[in-house]
Amino acid sequence: MGSNWNKSDGYYVEVGDRENILFPPRCIVCDKNVDGSYIKIQGNPVGYYGAWKWQFGLNPKIKVPAHIKCGHKLKRNILFRNLLLFFLAAIILIIGIYFDWNRWQIIGLILVVLILPLYWQEKNAPAFEFRLEDKIYEFRFLNKEYAREFAGLNGVSIKE
Which residue, 55 or 124, is less far from Zn ion as judged by CB?
Answer: 124
d(CA 100, CA 105): 10
Residue in 93, 105, 112, 119 with CA at minimum distance from that of residue 8: 119
List C-alpha distances in Å: 81 to 25, 41, 129, 156: 27, 14, 11, 28
Alpha carbons 6 and 84: distance in angstroms, whole number: 22
Nearer to Zn ion, 29 or 78 (CB): 29
CB of 22 to Zn ion, least distance (A): 18
Select 39 or 85, whichever has its Cβ closest to Zn ion.
39
Q: Which residue, among 3, 9, 27, has the nearest Cα to 150 in the 3D structure?
A: 27
The minimum distance between CB 73 and Zn ion, in angstroms, equals 9
User: Whole-number minimum distance, CB 74 to Zn ion, in Å?
Assistant: 9
Binding site for Zn ion (CB under 5 A): 27, 29-30, 67, 70
* Residues 26 and 65 sit within 8 Å (Cβ to Cβ): yes
Nearer Cβ to Zn ion (30/158) = 30
Distance CA 130, CA 75 (A): 12
| Least Å from the CB of residue 63 to Zn ion | 15
